[in-house]
Structure 1
């Protein structure tokens, strides 16, 4: 038979084990929350200390200047947005063009089709000035 003292001892031992498990899990959770809080505070610090980009005004002359070394098909202006079509643009030139366009406006849509498989694209861009 099991006596009362043994039952009390085992239940106390079980209580201490549960308490230890709870404390260790709580400690891990607290460390996780502290880590997330510090990351968030670091993000806010970086966000508050960023310099805003000064953007130029986007117009057709600037688009023609940016695409002068590329094979420009057309530039259309509709509903406050420019549609630019280019032919035979390699990937590096496309990346450089996109980086320059981001200084003047927002690239809303980009279609680049490579039918040759050599990294030479037919490109259609829709760019809106900011």
Structure 2
């Protein structure tokens, strides 16, 4: 019968356990370091956004403003009507490629688009637009 716990076996087992513990501790250290760096970068990003924040003045939607925004996008203003929830705007002949530019221009001026509907019945890429804005 061989003796199970010889000095050689105990040394090998302790060496194996030592390497296992070192691996586990290093792995945990790298995970914590990665989480710290991720949180730090998130904090720096928020601080940069707060530093570069510019307060935009909100413009009231008016017929002249909407007419100029639609005409700069290549469309025509059909009607503007004030309702309980905001302004209903109808336009026509607005090119589909210019719709994102128009939406960006309105939102940049502080006008919120609540509802947006664009229909192209002709297939030419000229849309009839209905919006509800605040």
Decide whether aligned partners of structure 1 residues 43 and 8 sit closer, same or farther in structure 2, where only a CA change above 3 A counts.
same
- Residue pairs, 1:7-46, within 5 angstroms: 7-46=9-48
Gap regions ≥5 residues in structure 1: none
Tell me the TM-score normalised to structure 2 length: 0.77
Measure the CA separation in 1 of the matches of 2:115 and 2:99: 14
Decide whether aligned partners of structure 1 residues 21 and 55 sit closer, same or farther in structure 2, where only a CA change above 3 A counts.
same
Alignment match, 2:91: 86
Contact 1:58 1:104 in 2 (8 A): no
Alignment match, 1:96: 101
SS at match of 1:105: coil
Q: Deviations over 1:23-42 (max 9, x none)?
A: 22112212311221221221
Tell me the TM-score normalised to structure 1 length: 0.79
Please provide the CA RMSD for this pair. 2.3
Gap regions ≥5 residues in structure 2: none
Measure the CA separation in 2 of the matches of 1:24 and 1:90: 59
- Are 1:75 and 2:77 matched, yes or no? no
